[in-house]
A and B are shown apart, each in its own frame.
Chain A
Amino acid sequence: MSGNATGLANAVRLAMRVQAAARFPHVYLGVALALALVLRFVLPQWRELVLPVLLLSEPGTLGIFLVAAHRFYDRNQRADAALLVTPLGEAAFVAAPVLATTVWGTAAGLLIQGVGLGVDERLVFLVIPMALSVALSGLVGWLLAGVFAEFTRFLLGSAPAVLLYSLPVVTVVGWLPPVALVWLPSQWALTAFAELTRATPDPALLVACCAGLAAANALGMTLAMRVMRARVRPAVEVA
Protein backbone atom coordinates (compact mmCIF):
# COMPACT_ATOMS: atom_id res chain seq x y z
CA MET A 1 0.00 0.00 0.00
CA SER A 2 1.11 3.55 -0.57
CA GLY A 3 1.78 5.85 2.35
CA ASN A 4 -1.54 7.64 1.87
CA ALA A 5 -3.51 4.40 1.88
CA THR A 6 -1.68 3.21 5.00
CA GLY A 7 -2.39 6.53 6.70
CA LEU A 8 -6.08 6.40 5.77
CA ALA A 9 -6.42 2.81 7.01
CA ASN A 10 -4.77 3.80 10.29
CA ALA A 11 -6.96 6.89 10.59
CA VAL A 12 -10.10 4.79 10.06
CA ARG A 13 -8.92 2.29 12.70
CA LEU A 14 -8.28 5.19 15.09
CA ALA A 15 -11.71 6.69 14.36
CA MET A 16 -13.37 3.30 14.94
CA ARG A 17 -11.51 2.90 18.24
CA VAL A 18 -12.48 6.43 19.35
CA GLN A 19 -16.10 5.81 18.35
CA ALA A 20 -16.13 2.43 20.08
CA ALA A 21 -14.76 4.05 23.26
CA ALA A 22 -17.59 6.60 23.01
CA ARG A 23 -20.13 3.73 22.57
CA PHE A 24 -21.13 4.77 19.03
CA PRO A 25 -21.52 1.17 17.77
CA HIS A 26 -23.51 0.27 20.88
CA VAL A 27 -25.98 3.02 20.02
CA TYR A 28 -26.08 2.09 16.34
CA LEU A 29 -26.42 -1.65 16.76
CA GLY A 30 -28.66 -1.42 19.83
CA VAL A 31 -31.22 0.73 18.03
CA ALA A 32 -30.92 -1.44 14.91
CA LEU A 33 -31.56 -4.62 16.89
CA ALA A 34 -34.59 -3.08 18.58
CA LEU A 35 -36.01 -1.98 15.21
CA ALA A 36 -35.31 -5.38 13.68
CA LEU A 37 -37.13 -7.16 16.50
CA VAL A 38 -40.11 -4.83 16.12
CA LEU A 39 -40.06 -5.60 12.39
CA ARG A 40 -40.40 -9.31 13.17
CA PHE A 41 -43.82 -8.63 14.68
CA VAL A 42 -45.07 -6.54 11.74
CA LEU A 43 -47.37 -8.26 9.25
CA PRO A 44 -45.36 -9.64 6.29
CA GLN A 45 -47.12 -7.41 3.73
CA TRP A 46 -46.28 -4.32 5.85
CA ARG A 47 -42.75 -5.50 6.55
CA GLU A 48 -41.60 -4.89 2.95
CA LEU A 49 -43.03 -1.40 3.10
CA VAL A 50 -41.52 -0.46 6.46
CA LEU A 51 -38.06 -2.00 6.01
CA PRO A 52 -36.73 0.51 3.42
CA VAL A 53 -37.90 3.39 5.62
CA LEU A 54 -36.04 1.95 8.61
CA LEU A 55 -32.91 1.36 6.51
CA LEU A 56 -32.99 4.94 5.30
CA SER A 57 -33.79 6.64 8.56
CA GLU A 58 -31.96 4.76 11.33
CA PRO A 59 -28.41 4.32 9.93
CA GLY A 60 -28.70 7.46 7.83
CA THR A 61 -29.99 9.91 10.41
CA LEU A 62 -27.70 8.54 13.08
CA GLY A 63 -24.82 8.93 10.61
CA ILE A 64 -25.39 12.68 10.46
CA PHE A 65 -25.37 13.04 14.25
CA LEU A 66 -22.60 10.56 15.05
CA VAL A 67 -20.08 11.95 12.57
CA ALA A 68 -20.86 15.45 13.80
CA ALA A 69 -20.46 14.25 17.39
CA HIS A 70 -17.09 12.77 16.44
CA ARG A 71 -16.01 16.10 14.98
CA PHE A 72 -17.12 18.04 18.06
CA TYR A 73 -15.38 15.48 20.30
CA ASP A 74 -12.11 15.83 18.35
CA ARG A 75 -12.41 19.60 18.38
CA ASN A 76 -13.20 19.85 22.09
CA GLN A 77 -10.27 17.65 23.00
CA ARG A 78 -8.12 19.46 20.39
CA ALA A 79 -7.05 16.06 19.13
CA ASP A 80 -7.57 17.24 15.55
CA ALA A 81 -4.54 19.54 15.83
CA ALA A 82 -2.30 16.52 16.43
CA LEU A 83 -3.65 14.73 13.34
CA LEU A 84 -3.15 17.79 11.13
CA VAL A 85 0.60 17.89 11.81
CA THR A 86 1.11 14.39 10.43
CA PRO A 87 1.48 13.29 6.78
CA LEU A 88 -2.13 12.01 6.93
CA GLY A 89 -3.55 14.58 4.50
CA GLU A 90 -6.78 16.52 4.53
CA ALA A 91 -8.84 14.04 2.51
CA ALA A 92 -8.07 11.21 4.93
CA PHE A 93 -8.74 13.54 7.86
CA VAL A 94 -12.25 14.15 6.50
CA ALA A 95 -12.88 10.59 5.36
CA ALA A 96 -11.75 8.68 8.47
CA PRO A 97 -14.67 9.43 10.84
CA VAL A 98 -17.11 9.12 7.94
CA LEU A 99 -15.78 5.70 6.94
CA ALA A 100 -15.68 4.50 10.55
CA THR A 101 -19.34 5.47 10.96
CA THR A 102 -20.10 3.83 7.62
CA VAL A 103 -18.84 0.52 9.02
CA TRP A 104 -21.18 0.71 12.03
CA GLY A 105 -24.08 2.06 9.97
CA THR A 106 -23.77 -0.64 7.32
CA ALA A 107 -23.63 -3.29 10.03
CA ALA A 108 -26.75 -1.77 11.56
CA GLY A 109 -28.53 -1.87 8.19
CA LEU A 110 -27.56 -5.49 7.64
CA LEU A 111 -28.76 -6.33 11.14
CA ILE A 112 -32.16 -4.72 10.51
CA GLN A 113 -32.66 -6.50 7.20
CA GLY A 114 -31.13 -9.79 8.35
CA VAL A 115 -33.22 -10.09 11.51
CA GLY A 116 -36.30 -8.40 10.10
CA LEU A 117 -36.53 -10.05 6.70
CA GLY A 118 -34.25 -13.06 6.97
CA VAL A 119 -30.82 -13.89 5.63
CA ASP A 120 -30.49 -14.45 1.89
CA GLU A 121 -28.42 -13.19 -1.06
CA ARG A 122 -30.19 -9.80 -0.98
CA LEU A 123 -28.28 -9.08 2.20
CA VAL A 124 -25.03 -9.11 0.21
CA PHE A 125 -26.46 -6.72 -2.36
CA LEU A 126 -27.56 -4.38 0.42
CA VAL A 127 -23.96 -3.67 1.47
CA ILE A 128 -23.14 -1.19 -1.32
CA PRO A 129 -26.26 1.05 -1.25
CA MET A 130 -26.28 0.90 2.55
CA ALA A 131 -22.62 1.96 2.81
CA LEU A 132 -23.06 4.72 0.22
CA SER A 133 -26.15 5.99 2.01
CA VAL A 134 -24.49 6.08 5.45
CA ALA A 135 -21.31 7.65 4.02
CA LEU A 136 -23.40 10.39 2.42
CA SER A 137 -25.23 11.15 5.66
CA GLY A 138 -21.87 11.10 7.47
CA LEU A 139 -20.46 13.65 5.04
CA VAL A 140 -23.51 15.83 5.64
CA GLY A 141 -22.83 15.57 9.39
CA TRP A 142 -19.16 16.41 8.86
CA LEU A 143 -20.05 19.44 6.73
CA LEU A 144 -22.57 20.74 9.26
CA ALA A 145 -20.10 20.29 12.14
CA GLY A 146 -17.50 22.13 10.05
CA VAL A 147 -19.79 25.04 9.31
CA PHE A 148 -21.32 25.38 12.80
CA ALA A 149 -18.70 25.96 15.48
CA GLU A 150 -21.06 25.31 18.41
CA PHE A 151 -23.05 22.16 19.07
CA THR A 152 -26.29 24.04 19.80
CA ARG A 153 -26.05 25.85 16.47
CA PHE A 154 -25.30 22.55 14.79
CA LEU A 155 -28.50 21.07 16.23
CA LEU A 156 -30.52 23.93 14.77
CA GLY A 157 -28.68 23.82 11.47
CA SER A 158 -28.96 20.06 11.14
CA ALA A 159 -32.77 19.99 11.43
CA PRO A 160 -33.41 20.99 7.79
CA ALA A 161 -30.75 18.53 6.61
CA VAL A 162 -32.29 15.67 8.57
CA LEU A 163 -35.77 16.56 7.30
CA LEU A 164 -34.52 16.71 3.72
CA TYR A 165 -32.69 13.41 4.12
CA SER A 166 -35.84 11.76 5.48
CA LEU A 167 -38.21 13.40 2.99
CA PRO A 168 -38.49 10.31 0.71
CA VAL A 169 -40.50 8.66 3.49
CA VAL A 170 -43.49 10.67 2.23
CA THR A 171 -43.37 8.72 -1.04
CA VAL A 172 -43.86 5.49 0.90
CA VAL A 173 -47.04 6.73 2.56
CA GLY A 174 -48.26 8.05 -0.79
CA TRP A 175 -48.19 11.79 -0.08
CA LEU A 176 -45.90 12.33 -3.07
CA PRO A 177 -45.08 10.13 -6.07
CA PRO A 178 -41.44 8.88 -6.01
CA VAL A 179 -40.77 10.71 -9.27
CA ALA A 180 -41.29 14.04 -7.46
CA LEU A 181 -38.17 13.42 -5.38
CA VAL A 182 -36.03 11.85 -8.07
CA TRP A 183 -33.51 14.68 -7.63
CA LEU A 184 -32.86 13.77 -3.98
CA PRO A 185 -29.98 11.31 -3.23
CA SER A 186 -31.82 9.82 -0.24
CA GLN A 187 -34.65 8.95 -2.65
CA TRP A 188 -32.13 6.90 -4.63
CA ALA A 189 -31.13 5.12 -1.42
CA LEU A 190 -34.77 4.44 -0.53
CA THR A 191 -35.42 3.13 -4.04
CA ALA A 192 -32.46 0.74 -3.76
CA PHE A 193 -33.57 -0.48 -0.33
CA ALA A 194 -37.13 -1.01 -1.57
CA GLU A 195 -35.85 -2.88 -4.59
CA LEU A 196 -33.90 -5.23 -2.33
CA THR A 197 -37.06 -6.22 -0.47
CA ARG A 198 -38.49 -7.68 -3.69
CA ALA A 199 -38.00 -11.33 -4.52
CA THR A 200 -36.21 -10.45 -7.77
CA PRO A 201 -34.59 -6.97 -7.61
CA ASP A 202 -33.93 -5.05 -10.82
CA PRO A 203 -30.12 -4.97 -11.24
CA ALA A 204 -30.16 -1.97 -13.60
CA LEU A 205 -32.16 0.11 -11.13
CA LEU A 206 -29.83 -0.90 -8.28
CA VAL A 207 -26.75 0.07 -10.29
CA ALA A 208 -28.29 3.42 -11.25
CA CYS A 209 -29.18 4.19 -7.63
CA CYS A 210 -25.69 3.24 -6.41
CA ALA A 211 -24.03 5.31 -9.16
CA GLY A 212 -26.12 8.30 -8.14
CA LEU A 213 -25.23 7.83 -4.48
CA ALA A 214 -21.54 7.50 -5.37
CA ALA A 215 -21.71 10.78 -7.32
CA ALA A 216 -23.45 12.46 -4.38
CA ASN A 217 -20.68 11.21 -2.09
CA ALA A 218 -18.05 12.65 -4.45
CA LEU A 219 -19.83 16.00 -4.37
CA GLY A 220 -20.12 15.84 -0.58
CA MET A 221 -16.42 15.06 -0.27
CA THR A 222 -15.54 18.02 -2.52
CA LEU A 223 -17.62 20.36 -0.38
CA ALA A 224 -16.16 18.90 2.81
CA MET A 225 -12.63 19.56 1.54
CA ARG A 226 -13.54 23.18 0.87
CA VAL A 227 -14.92 23.56 4.39
CA MET A 228 -11.80 21.81 5.68
CA ARG A 229 -9.49 24.38 4.07
CA ALA A 230 -11.61 27.45 4.65
CA ARG A 231 -12.88 26.86 8.16
CA VAL A 232 -11.64 23.74 9.95
CA ARG A 233 -7.86 23.88 9.51
CA PRO A 234 -7.46 27.62 10.26
CA ALA A 235 -9.64 27.29 13.38
CA VAL A 236 -7.68 24.41 14.90
CA GLU A 237 -6.60 25.34 18.41
CA VAL A 238 -3.09 24.51 19.52
CA ALA A 239 -2.89 26.29 22.87
Chain B
Amino acid sequence: MAVEVEALTYRYPGAGEPVLRGLDFAIAAGEIFGFLGPNGSGKTTTQKLLARLLAGYGGSMRVFGGEVAEQPPAYFERIGVSFEAPNLYERLTARENLEFYRGFFDGETTGADDLLRRLDLPARDRRPVAQYSKGMKMRVVLARSLVNQPDLWFLDEPTGGQDPAHAVAIRELIRERAAEGTAVFLTTHDMAVADSLCDRVAFLTDGGLAAVGAPRELRLAHRRNAVRVEVREGDALVAREFSLDHSAEKEAFLSLVRDGPVETIHTLEPSLEDVFLAVTGRRLDNGGAA
Protein backbone atom coordinates (compact mmCIF):
# COMPACT_ATOMS: atom_id res chain seq x y z
CA MET B 1 0.00 0.00 0.00
CA ALA B 2 1.19 3.52 -0.79
CA VAL B 3 -0.86 5.05 2.05
CA GLU B 4 -2.19 3.36 5.20
CA VAL B 5 -4.13 5.52 7.64
CA GLU B 6 -5.40 4.04 10.89
CA ALA B 7 -7.43 5.71 13.65
CA LEU B 8 -6.22 9.14 12.51
CA THR B 9 -7.21 11.95 14.83
CA TYR B 10 -6.24 15.61 14.83
CA ARG B 11 -7.14 18.57 16.98
CA TYR B 12 -5.98 22.09 16.09
CA PRO B 13 -4.06 23.73 18.96
CA GLY B 14 -6.52 25.57 21.16
CA ALA B 15 -9.57 23.97 19.53
CA GLY B 16 -12.06 22.20 21.77
CA GLU B 17 -13.14 19.44 19.42
CA PRO B 18 -10.97 17.29 17.16
CA VAL B 19 -11.40 17.96 13.45
CA LEU B 20 -10.56 14.34 12.54
CA ARG B 21 -12.08 11.50 14.58
CA GLY B 22 -10.46 8.17 13.81
CA LEU B 23 -10.08 7.90 10.03
CA ASP B 24 -9.18 4.55 8.49
CA PHE B 25 -8.34 4.18 4.83
CA ALA B 26 -5.63 2.90 2.52
CA ILE B 27 -4.55 3.75 -1.01
CA ALA B 28 -2.77 1.27 -3.24
CA ALA B 29 -0.12 2.14 -5.81
CA GLY B 30 -1.88 2.96 -9.06
CA GLU B 31 -5.21 3.64 -7.36
CA ILE B 32 -7.22 6.85 -7.75
CA PHE B 33 -8.78 7.49 -4.35
CA GLY B 34 -11.44 10.18 -4.09
CA PHE B 35 -11.82 12.04 -0.80
CA LEU B 36 -15.23 13.70 -0.77
CA GLY B 37 -16.85 15.86 1.82
CA PRO B 38 -18.44 19.25 2.39
CA ASN B 39 -16.43 22.30 3.43
CA GLY B 40 -15.10 21.94 6.96
CA SER B 41 -15.34 18.16 7.01
CA GLY B 42 -11.58 17.66 7.41
CA LYS B 43 -10.43 17.00 3.82
CA THR B 44 -7.82 19.76 3.76
CA THR B 45 -6.59 18.87 7.24
CA THR B 46 -6.05 15.26 6.17
CA GLN B 47 -4.17 16.41 3.07
CA LYS B 48 -2.04 18.85 5.13
CA LEU B 49 -1.16 16.06 7.56
CA LEU B 50 -0.16 13.70 4.75
CA ALA B 51 1.89 16.50 3.13
CA ARG B 52 3.56 17.21 6.50
CA LEU B 53 2.28 20.77 6.64
CA LEU B 54 0.71 19.91 9.99
CA ALA B 55 2.22 17.82 12.77
CA GLY B 56 0.99 16.30 15.99
CA TYR B 57 -1.66 13.83 14.84
CA GLY B 58 -3.00 10.83 16.71
CA GLY B 59 -3.20 7.31 15.31
CA SER B 60 -1.04 6.21 12.43
CA MET B 61 -0.32 7.52 8.91
CA ARG B 62 2.09 5.36 6.98
CA VAL B 63 3.22 6.39 3.51
CA PHE B 64 5.59 4.17 1.47
CA GLY B 65 5.88 1.99 4.59
CA GLY B 66 7.09 4.74 6.96
CA GLU B 67 5.25 6.84 9.51
CA VAL B 68 4.67 10.32 8.05
CA ALA B 69 5.88 12.10 11.21
CA GLU B 70 9.22 10.28 10.95
CA GLN B 71 9.77 10.69 7.22
CA PRO B 72 13.06 12.32 6.15
CA PRO B 73 13.13 15.34 3.78
CA ALA B 74 13.53 12.84 0.92
CA TYR B 75 9.83 12.04 1.49
CA PHE B 76 9.04 15.10 -0.59
CA GLU B 77 10.98 13.64 -3.52
CA ARG B 78 8.14 11.12 -3.85
CA ILE B 79 5.03 13.24 -3.37
CA GLY B 80 3.45 15.90 -5.58
CA VAL B 81 0.82 18.35 -4.41
CA SER B 82 -1.52 20.23 -6.74
CA PHE B 83 -3.33 22.85 -4.72
CA GLU B 84 -6.88 24.08 -5.21
CA ALA B 85 -5.76 27.72 -5.46
CA PRO B 86 -3.34 28.89 -8.15
CA ASN B 87 -0.42 29.48 -5.76
CA LEU B 88 2.26 30.59 -8.18
CA TYR B 89 4.82 33.37 -8.30
CA GLU B 90 2.60 35.60 -10.38
CA ARG B 91 5.33 37.93 -11.62
CA LEU B 92 7.37 35.01 -12.98
CA THR B 93 6.71 33.08 -16.18
CA ALA B 94 5.20 29.61 -16.09
CA ARG B 95 8.53 28.17 -17.17
CA GLU B 96 10.39 29.99 -14.38
CA ASN B 97 7.86 28.76 -11.82
CA LEU B 98 8.47 25.18 -12.92
CA GLU B 99 12.23 25.34 -13.40
CA PHE B 100 12.91 26.93 -10.01
CA TYR B 101 10.67 24.30 -8.42
CA ARG B 102 12.52 21.58 -10.27
CA GLY B 103 15.76 22.77 -8.69
CA PHE B 104 14.58 21.66 -5.25
CA PHE B 105 14.60 17.97 -6.16
CA ASP B 106 17.63 15.68 -6.33
CA GLY B 107 15.85 12.75 -7.99
CA GLU B 108 14.69 12.32 -11.56
CA THR B 109 12.57 15.24 -12.76
CA THR B 110 10.64 16.24 -15.86
CA GLY B 111 11.57 19.42 -17.71
CA ALA B 112 9.28 22.43 -17.69
CA ASP B 113 8.83 22.49 -21.47
CA ASP B 114 7.58 18.88 -21.59
CA LEU B 115 5.12 19.45 -18.76
CA LEU B 116 3.81 22.72 -20.17
CA ARG B 117 3.25 21.16 -23.58
CA ARG B 118 1.52 18.17 -21.96
CA LEU B 119 -0.94 20.53 -20.29
CA ASP B 120 -1.50 22.61 -23.42
CA LEU B 121 0.40 25.63 -22.14
CA PRO B 122 2.85 27.71 -24.20
CA ALA B 123 6.36 26.52 -23.30
CA ARG B 124 8.26 29.66 -24.31
CA ASP B 125 5.76 32.24 -23.14
CA ARG B 126 7.39 35.41 -21.79
CA ARG B 127 4.23 36.63 -20.07
CA PRO B 128 4.14 36.45 -16.27
CA VAL B 129 1.53 33.99 -15.04
CA ALA B 130 -0.40 36.94 -13.60
CA GLN B 131 -1.63 37.47 -17.16
CA TYR B 132 -2.94 33.90 -17.47
CA SER B 133 -6.56 32.87 -17.08
CA LYS B 134 -7.50 30.91 -13.94
CA GLY B 135 -7.69 27.71 -15.95
CA MET B 136 -4.18 28.24 -17.33
CA LYS B 137 -2.80 29.01 -13.87
CA MET B 138 -4.35 25.85 -12.50
CA ARG B 139 -2.73 23.83 -15.27
CA VAL B 140 0.64 25.36 -14.34
CA VAL B 141 0.02 24.29 -10.72
CA LEU B 142 -0.85 20.80 -11.96
CA ALA B 143 2.31 20.71 -14.09
CA ARG B 144 4.42 21.84 -11.12
CA SER B 145 3.09 18.97 -9.01
CA LEU B 146 4.41 16.52 -11.62
CA VAL B 147 7.93 17.96 -11.86
CA ASN B 148 9.42 15.34 -9.52
CA GLN B 149 7.45 12.43 -11.04
CA PRO B 150 5.70 11.66 -7.74
CA ASP B 151 4.65 8.22 -6.54
CA LEU B 152 1.87 9.79 -4.47
CA TRP B 153 0.00 12.64 -6.12
CA PHE B 154 -2.35 14.93 -4.16
CA LEU B 155 -4.95 16.62 -6.33
CA ASP B 156 -7.39 19.22 -5.05
CA GLU B 157 -10.18 20.01 -7.54
CA PRO B 158 -7.91 19.20 -10.51
CA THR B 159 -10.46 20.17 -13.16
CA GLY B 160 -11.60 23.35 -11.39
CA GLY B 161 -11.73 26.35 -13.74
CA GLN B 162 -11.12 24.25 -16.86
CA ASP B 163 -13.13 24.26 -20.07
CA PRO B 164 -14.61 20.85 -21.04
CA ALA B 165 -11.78 19.95 -23.44
CA HIS B 166 -9.04 20.65 -20.89
CA ALA B 167 -11.04 18.91 -18.14
CA VAL B 168 -11.12 15.77 -20.31
CA ALA B 169 -7.39 16.07 -21.01
CA ILE B 170 -6.63 16.40 -17.29
CA ARG B 171 -8.75 13.36 -16.47
CA GLU B 172 -6.82 11.42 -19.12
CA LEU B 173 -3.53 12.59 -17.62
CA ILE B 174 -4.60 11.43 -14.14
CA ARG B 175 -5.64 8.00 -15.49
CA GLU B 176 -2.34 7.77 -17.37
CA ARG B 177 -0.28 8.51 -14.25
CA ALA B 178 -2.31 6.03 -12.19
CA ALA B 179 -1.77 3.37 -14.86
CA GLU B 180 1.97 3.96 -14.46
CA GLY B 181 1.66 3.19 -10.72
CA THR B 182 1.15 6.58 -9.09
CA ALA B 183 -1.24 6.56 -6.14
CA VAL B 184 -3.65 9.49 -6.50
CA PHE B 185 -5.34 11.19 -3.54
CA LEU B 186 -8.07 13.29 -5.13
CA THR B 187 -10.12 15.84 -3.22
CA THR B 188 -13.15 17.21 -5.03
CA HIS B 189 -16.67 18.51 -4.72
CA ASP B 190 -17.40 17.40 -8.27
CA MET B 191 -19.27 14.10 -8.03
CA ALA B 192 -19.13 13.59 -11.80
CA VAL B 193 -15.32 13.78 -11.67
CA ALA B 194 -15.20 11.41 -8.70
CA ASP B 195 -17.61 8.97 -10.32
CA SER B 196 -15.82 8.85 -13.64
CA LEU B 197 -12.26 8.93 -12.36
CA CYS B 198 -11.95 7.28 -8.97
CA ASP B 199 -11.37 3.59 -8.29
CA ARG B 200 -12.70 4.16 -4.79
CA VAL B 201 -14.15 7.11 -2.90
CA ALA B 202 -14.43 7.96 0.78
CA PHE B 203 -17.24 10.14 2.14
CA LEU B 204 -16.02 12.40 4.94
CA THR B 205 -18.37 14.29 7.24
CA ASP B 206 -17.61 15.95 10.55
CA GLY B 207 -14.16 14.40 10.72
CA GLY B 208 -15.31 10.80 10.25
CA LEU B 209 -15.63 8.47 7.27
CA ALA B 210 -19.26 7.64 6.50
CA ALA B 211 -18.51 5.21 3.65
CA VAL B 212 -15.61 3.95 1.56
CA GLY B 213 -15.98 1.98 -1.65
CA ALA B 214 -15.97 1.89 -5.44
CA PRO B 215 -18.44 4.41 -6.89
CA ARG B 216 -20.34 1.68 -8.73
CA GLU B 217 -20.58 -0.50 -5.61
CA LEU B 218 -21.84 2.44 -3.56
CA ARG B 219 -24.41 3.32 -6.19
CA LEU B 220 -25.61 -0.27 -6.49
CA ALA B 221 -25.82 -0.67 -2.74
CA HIS B 222 -28.20 2.28 -2.55
CA ARG B 223 -30.14 1.72 -5.71
CA ARG B 224 -33.87 1.32 -5.97
CA ASN B 225 -34.66 -1.67 -8.17
CA ALA B 226 -37.16 0.26 -10.22
CA VAL B 227 -37.65 1.97 -13.57
CA ARG B 228 -39.22 5.27 -14.52
CA VAL B 229 -41.19 5.38 -17.75
CA GLU B 230 -42.44 8.48 -19.53
CA VAL B 231 -45.53 7.84 -21.64
CA ARG B 232 -47.56 10.13 -23.86
CA GLU B 233 -51.18 10.46 -22.77
CA GLY B 234 -52.89 12.82 -25.17
CA ASP B 235 -50.90 16.02 -25.12
CA ALA B 236 -49.40 15.33 -21.68
CA LEU B 237 -46.17 13.51 -20.86
CA VAL B 238 -46.75 11.35 -17.76
CA ALA B 239 -44.01 9.71 -15.65
CA ARG B 240 -44.67 6.36 -13.96
CA GLU B 241 -42.41 4.32 -11.69
CA PHE B 242 -42.43 0.51 -11.49
CA SER B 243 -40.68 -1.56 -8.84
CA LEU B 244 -38.97 -4.57 -10.41
CA ASP B 245 -39.14 -6.43 -7.10
CA HIS B 246 -42.92 -6.86 -7.35
CA SER B 247 -44.19 -9.22 -10.05
CA ALA B 248 -47.43 -7.26 -10.60
CA GLU B 249 -45.58 -4.00 -11.17
CA LYS B 250 -43.01 -5.76 -13.35
CA GLU B 251 -45.83 -7.18 -15.48
CA ALA B 252 -47.47 -3.74 -15.74
CA PHE B 253 -44.15 -2.26 -16.87
CA LEU B 254 -43.67 -4.96 -19.55
CA SER B 255 -47.21 -4.47 -20.73
CA LEU B 256 -46.67 -0.74 -21.04
CA VAL B 257 -43.46 -1.29 -23.00
CA ARG B 258 -45.29 -3.71 -25.32
CA ASP B 259 -48.39 -1.65 -25.95
CA GLY B 260 -48.01 1.93 -24.66
CA PRO B 261 -46.64 5.08 -26.28
CA VAL B 262 -43.38 5.01 -24.29
CA GLU B 263 -41.08 7.99 -24.82
CA THR B 264 -38.27 7.27 -22.30
CA ILE B 265 -37.21 4.51 -19.85
CA HIS B 266 -34.66 5.05 -17.04
CA THR B 267 -33.44 2.79 -14.26
CA LEU B 268 -33.54 4.50 -10.87
CA GLU B 269 -29.88 3.96 -10.07
CA PRO B 270 -28.78 6.74 -7.72
CA SER B 271 -26.01 9.16 -8.60
CA LEU B 272 -22.98 9.34 -6.33
CA GLU B 273 -24.43 12.58 -5.00
CA ASP B 274 -27.63 10.76 -4.05
CA VAL B 275 -25.58 8.13 -2.24
CA PHE B 276 -23.64 10.82 -0.40
CA LEU B 277 -26.89 12.42 0.68
CA ALA B 278 -28.33 9.07 1.77
CA VAL B 279 -25.22 8.09 3.74
CA THR B 280 -24.37 11.41 5.36
CA GLY B 281 -27.65 13.29 5.35
CA ARG B 282 -25.80 16.27 3.86
CA ARG B 283 -25.24 17.74 0.45
CA LEU B 284 -21.70 17.95 -0.87
CA ASP B 285 -21.83 21.22 -2.73
CA ASN B 286 -22.48 23.66 0.10
CA GLY B 287 -21.80 21.63 3.20
CA GLY B 288 -25.28 22.32 4.44
CA ALA B 289 -27.84 19.88 5.71
CA ALA B 290 -30.07 18.27 3.11
Contacts and interface: CB of A to CB of B under 8 A. Distances in A.
Interface of A: 3-4, 6-7, 10-11, 13-14, 17-18, 21-22, 77-79, 81-89, 233-234, 236-239
Contacts of B53: 81, 84-85, 233-234, 236, 238
Contacts of A18: 89, 91-92
B90 A86 contact: no
Contacts of A13: 100, 103
A77 B89 contact: yes
Contacts of B55: 233-234
17 contacts: A6-B103, A7-B104, A11-B104, A14-B103, A17-B92, A18-B89, A21-B89, A77-B89, A79-B88, A79-B89, A81-B53, A83-B104, A84-B53, A86-B101, A87-B73, A238-B53, A239-B85
Interface string B116-146: 0000000000001000000000000000100
A184 B89 CA distance: 37
Interface residues of B, number: 35
Per DSSP, chain B at the interface is loop
Given A89-B73, A234-B53, A239-B156, A21 B91 contact: yes
A150 B84 CA distance: 23
A176 B4 CA distance: 64
Contacts of A89: 73
Contacts, number: 96
Given A10-B100, A82-B83, 13 more contacts: A14-B100, A77-B88, A78-B87, A82-B87, A82-B144, A85-B51, A86-B105, A87-B73, A87-B104, A87-B106, A234-B55, A238-B48, A238-B85
B47 interface: yes
A88 B75 CA distance: 11
A21 B92 contact: yes
Nearest to A7: B104
Given A238-B53, A238-B84, A238-B156, A85 B76 contact: yes
A4 B128 CA distance: 29
B248 to A, nearest CB: 52
B83 A238 contact: yes
Contacts of A22: 91
Nearest to B51: A85
